[in-house]
Structure 1
Amino acid sequence: MAEDFSKDEKVEVSADVESSIHHKAAETTSDGTYIVDTKLQDGNTDASSSEVKEVRTTKDGKTALIPQPSDDPADPLNWPWGKKHQVLVALTFSALLTDWGMTWGTTLFEAQAETWGMSIVDISNSLSGGIFLQGPGGVLAVPLVQRYGRLPVLFWSQVLSCIVVIGASQAPTYAGFTACRTLQGFFNTAPQVIGLTIIHDMFFFHERTRKINFWAFSFLVGPYLGPFIAGFLIQKINWRQDFGVLAAFHAFAVILIVLFGDETLYDRDHPENNVKVDGIVGKIKLLTGIVGLRATGRPTLKTVFKDLIAISYLPYLILPCSIFLLVVYLWAIGITTSVTQFIKPPPYLFSDTAAALLFLAPMIGVLCAEAWGHFFNDWLCNNYIKKHNGVYKPENRLFGCWPAVVFSVCSLVLYGQTLQHSLSWAGIAVGWGMNSFAMLAATTAISAYVLDCFPGHAALASSWVNFWRVVGGFVITYFNMKWVVHSGAAIAFGCQGAIVFAAFGSIIVVQLYGHKWRVIYPAPAAEN
């Protein structure tokens, strides 16, 4: 049984509130509003019924558990704290490798240019296909996640990523290398899609935001940690061996999944559909998807794909993702993929070591954002609940984007002015760090909002968050450097800051009209 609640500790709530908590597919009321704090003072609730029922709470009795766990120890909500976090570690290390793997080569462009006799700008285009396919790859993984389970998709994503990275390290031509890198992007994006649904499967409402923040931190620190390590390795080994090290990291991720991973998909409405496995053979069948293939009561691939399309154009999903989040990532990835082209030539003349060390700046920014989000997002939620007598509206999550837009705009202006006027490299470092802070702050806030709005479609909604996120990363490599060369860094990055500020309007619109839209355009019934 989970360590944070007890069967013996109860609170009394009205039947209307209790039903919204108990029903797996309806953690919200009919209008999409969460009933969170069921232990209301003076017995005051918004429900009209006087019938009282008991629900499970945290040990201190202050917070009702949403959703209510079943009596089955195999229910992921009932797993011990240690097991939940072992699964989370296996997930987050794989998520760490997603963008870590794609940006690993950004500090190796110069060495590859010598191998194939090409320009550094042309070599950098090898990233574009892989970054683009992270979007469709995540979307196409969702039906597999819902039908065959979370664990096999996570397992095969790392196995196949390891294979294609080995292929990239041995590719005799640039075309072959680019093909392997493109497939790498298609296969390795699954952990960024599965993350929200695994967190939803294992953790209660009041726990999720911190777990989302940690999971998002893992895949957002990756774009900087990967080149940081690769930049040091290239000074001692050649670029092919450098990619061999990346393949070894993916192999380690496979080992973590085998040792610590478990299937979090659990049908609480129909427990008879849950398949139990024992022993090594059972674990192998679970990892490879054989158990999921034989499982009954799960949606068909066609059903999931239909629901995937149905939620893709809902305004309260598409607006914050396709406008604000896309723009934030557009410029953030643009900085990451081009920074060495600014700091290695005059006037900065960074060595390979110095260039690698500069990647500490965005990592510090992401680390600060993780610490900030660890407390700020919970404070936002708890403060709103207290002020509204236990009623919670998901749109409150989006206030987490307000600090993000300030940091994003200021970072781009500082970065552009520093480059334009050849100011101290500290301006580059601080600007880049602020930008990465904004990226994680926005990602956590929007991901938490999306999970609140689509608790029964976590994987589906997450895939669209990932899709719009990587669309920006794909297109930026084709025009960012050309824009800077044509207009100058100050104008180019200043305009980018202005675009972020304008895109923030989409967040305000969703905060104003999101509740109304959720009533008018509800999500399809939950699949599992």
Structure 2
Amino acid sequence: MSDHRVVPGTVYLVDVQHISHSKHADNGDIVLVPMPTDDPEDPLNWSRRRKLLSVTCMAVYMVMVGLSCSLVYSIIVPVAEDTGLSVADLNAGTGYSYLAFGWGCLLWQPAAKQFGKRPIYLISLLLSIGVTIAVPYALSPGAWMAMKILGGLAGGPLECLGEISIADVFCAHERGKFMAIYAFVLFAAGFLAPILAGFINDGMGWRWAQYWGAIWLAIGFLFCFFFMEETNFTRTSVLVTEETQNEIGSKTAAYDEANRMNDIDKPNCMDDTKAESFQPTTQNDLFNGTMTWPRKTYLQKLKMFNNVQPIHHFWSMVLRPLRLLSYPVIVYCGFSYGCSLIWYSVLNGTASVVLSSPPYNFSASYVGLTYISPMIGVGVGSLIAGNFGDVVVIWLARRNKGIWHSEYRQWLNLIMVVLLPGSLLLWGLGAEHGIHWFGLVFAMGLIGCCIAIGAHLSLSYCIDTYTDFGADAVVATMCIRNTMGFAIGYGITPWTENLGYQNAFLVAAAAGLLQVLTFLIMVKWGPRIRERSTDRYRRDVDSATELGITH
């Protein structure tokens, strides 16, 4: 049974007094959260090379699915002219796909727990191939909407499995930079697709952009089939001993307990530099001599279904994320992430229309090239939120006697207080007054930077706070995020047409500034909100553990 007074999202991360008995990174003072197990096949005990291959496979999946569902952004005008569909219909289709991406996670995430992440990634790629091939034949508004919904459902794991796959193989102190990679790949793929689609449209027509998307998906399927490993891993909790509690003291022992209790439904990690020469030891060694662990062969790593869970709990897993919508932190994360998606949709919904019209008159290929700017912006934003963010949270934890709060990373929102409203004003007012094209392209880069920072901070806060059911918390977050994305996708065209770019983006800049400033609420009152949720959180975790439906 867990300690019901351990506050979720608060851990003893930096062992400044060298009193914690938990394992440490590189024998330093960074406590490994969660504490490593002894099994070398535990994903968090893999060698560095094996971990990076796992991340690469996840990234390949995300790039291929992200490309296939984002090919239309730079060629909205050519598609509308060829099919007779209106720009509003095409943007509404994007909104419906976001809705399907988010709510489809309610099925994909439980399926990944039930059958494993590897088969779900592969099935998603196969389904996406079929939908992408069918899109060029959707020539009516109803058919277009249907294809976008099916595409969103097929690609649902893009939204909900990548973050958890990273949490499967990396500890808390190093997770930030890999979450940044996730955020970069997620949005960079969406910005790379318009670049490629623009040139394909000019040379082969817009339908071939979709056919090439299917080819890329097939390549991704083959790569993941031969190189992707399963990262699901079943483990039990490890409790802090009375001796440890006495040594650390009542306060820090509670936080050390949190580190260990994170084992309930998340994998552990060990020093990567020692993974290859790892020699496991357990309490059984005291009685049975040296204990050896079986290592998987290459063919065993390709096995499609490992540790399949009882099917009678599937629907309990489907409904569980909806219950988490009553946690204020999760609602905040969903709202914050949803706002990042809104700015992404606003940019994609207006870029082709603005840049292909006077005074710019860009061809589809030139419109596509402008997406290099937000790609660079996403890269910069990912570095800020990931690598720099890790440095910030460790520094703040050291200042707080080693105690780390999940709100620490939220201070990076200060960067967006200036960048987000400034970039939206530059884009909207620039489009209204026909400024030099470089100004608009520069604004696209700034928006891309803000999107990456906002997405990373939202997901990290969600997973770092409610680690024990991080997968379900992510699904709940995605439901909120993508519902907001659907709304803006449905309304972006009439909004800008009725208000004009200047007034529409004046409103957007003001709304963006207010939204970013809400992080101050969580920094001040977030710890108290988390503390009040402790008893309920532990009851939910214990109940899920008894049913065997934890991550």
Normalising by structure 2, what TM-score? 0.82
2:286 counterpart of 1:319: no
2:7 counterpart of 1:33: no
Matched ranges for 1:165-204 at <5 A: 165-171=132-138, 175-204=142-171
The DSSP-based 3-state class of the residue aligned with 2:22 is strand
The DSSP-based 3-state class of the residue aligned with 2:232 is coil
1:330–1:473 CA contact under 8 A, matched in 2: yes
Aligned equivalent of 2:484: 472
**Equivalent residue letter for 2:208:** Q
1:91–1:191 CA contact under 8 A, matched in 2: no
Q: State the distance in 1 between where 2:22 and 2:424 align.
A: 49
Counterpart pick for 1:215 among 176, 182, 187: 182
Matched ranges for 1:408-447 at <5 A: 408-447=420-459
Matched ranges for 1:253-402 at <5 A: 253-269=220-236, 282=300, 286-287=303-304, 289=305, 291-293=306-308, 295=309, 300-322=313-335, 324-402=336-414
Identity %: 21
2:471 counterpart of 1:459: yes
1:400–1:442 CA contact under 8 A, matched in 2: no
Residues 1:392 and 1:482: Cα distance change in structure 2 (over 3 Å): same
Residues 1:81 and 1:279: Cα distance change in structure 2 (over 3 Å): closer
CA deviation after TM superposition for structure 1 residue 170, in Å: 4.6
Q: State the distance in 2 between where 1:180 and 1:281 align.
A: 36
1:31–1:515 CA contact under 8 A, matched in 2: no
2:56 counterpart of 1:89: yes
1:394–1:452 CA contact under 8 A, matched in 2: yes
Cα deviation 1:215-273 (Å, max 9, x = unaligned): 111001122111111111111112222211001111122122112211111112199x9
Aligned equivalent of 1:481: 493
Aligned equivalent of 2:277: none
2:426–2:439 CA contact under 8 A, matched in 1: yes
1:328–1:408 CA contact under 8 A, matched in 2: no
**Equivalent residue letter for 1:348:** Y
Aligned equivalent of 2:198: 231
Decide which moves more: 346-355 or 219-228.
346-355
Counterpart pick for 1:111 among 78, 82, 85: 78
The DSSP-based 3-state class of the residue aligned with 2:23 is strand
Aligned equivalent of 2:245: none
**Equivalent residue letter for 1:152:** P
2:183–2:456 CA contact under 8 A, matched in 1: yes
Q: State the distance in 1 between where 2:207 and 2:294 align.
A: 43
CA deviation after TM superposition for structure 1 residue 340, in Å: 0.7
Q: State the distance in 2 between where 1:249 and 1:27 align.
A: 48
Decide which moves more: 79-88 or 312-321.
312-321
2:122 counterpart of 1:155: yes
Aligned equivalent of 2:287: none
Cα deviation 1:353-396 (Å, max 9, x = unaligned): 32111111111111111222333201211111110111111111
CA deviation after TM superposition for structure 1 residue 214, in Å: 0.5
Q: State the distance in 2 between where 1:30 and 1:100 align.
A: 40
Aligned equivalent of 2:519: 507
Residues 1:483 and 1:32: Cα distance change in structure 2 (over 3 Å): closer
Cα deviation 1:285-320 (Å, max 9, x = unaligned): x33x4x343x56x99223323431221220011023
1:334–1:473 CA contact under 8 A, matched in 2: no
Cα deviation 1:146-166 (Å, max 9, x = unaligned): 222222222211111112112
The DSSP-based 3-state class of the residue aligned with 1:108 is helix
The DSSP-based 3-state class of the residue aligned with 2:69 is helix
CA deviation after TM superposition for structure 1 residue 281, in Å: 6.7
1:398–1:445 CA contact under 8 A, matched in 2: yes
1:165–1:181 CA contact under 8 A, matched in 2: no
Q: State the distance in 2 between where 1:55 and 1:394 align.
A: 20
Q: State the distance in 2 between where 1:471 and 1:453 align.
A: 23
CA deviation after TM superposition for structure 1 residue 88, in Å: 0.7
The DSSP-based 3-state class of the residue aligned with 1:34 is strand
**Equivalent residue letter for 2:326:** Y
Q: State the distance in 1 between where 2:3 and 2:179 align.
A: 21
Q: State the distance in 1 between where 2:375 and 2:367 align.
A: 14
2:36–2:44 CA contact under 8 A, matched in 1: yes
**Equivalent residue letter for 2:200:** L
Kindly indicate whether structure 1 or structure 2 has the higher relative contact order, using CA contacts under 8 Å at least 6 residues apart: 2
Normalising by structure 1, what TM-score? 0.86
Cα deviation 1:112-170 (Å, max 9, x = unaligned): 33443343443443323212211101232121122222222222111111121122245
**Equivalent residue letter for 1:436:** G
Aligned equivalent of 2:131: 164
**Equivalent residue letter for 2:324:** I
1:224–1:359 CA contact under 8 A, matched in 2: yes
User: Between Structure 1 and Structure 2, how many residues are aligned?
Assistant: 488
2:377–2:449 CA contact under 8 A, matched in 1: yes
Q: State the distance in 1 between where 2:104 and 2:22 align.
A: 40
**Equivalent residue letter for 2:48:** W
Residues 1:493 and 1:97: Cα distance change in structure 2 (over 3 Å): farther
**Equivalent residue letter for 1:208:** R
**Equivalent residue letter for 1:468:** I
Counterpart pick for 2:92 among 121, 125, 139: 125
Aligned equivalent of 1:491: 503
Q: State the distance in 2 between where 1:117 and 1:446 align.
A: 39
Decide which moves more: 82-91 or 248-257.
248-257
CA deviation after TM superposition for structure 1 residue 406, in Å: 2.2
Q: State the distance in 2 between where 1:192 and 1:356 align.
A: 24
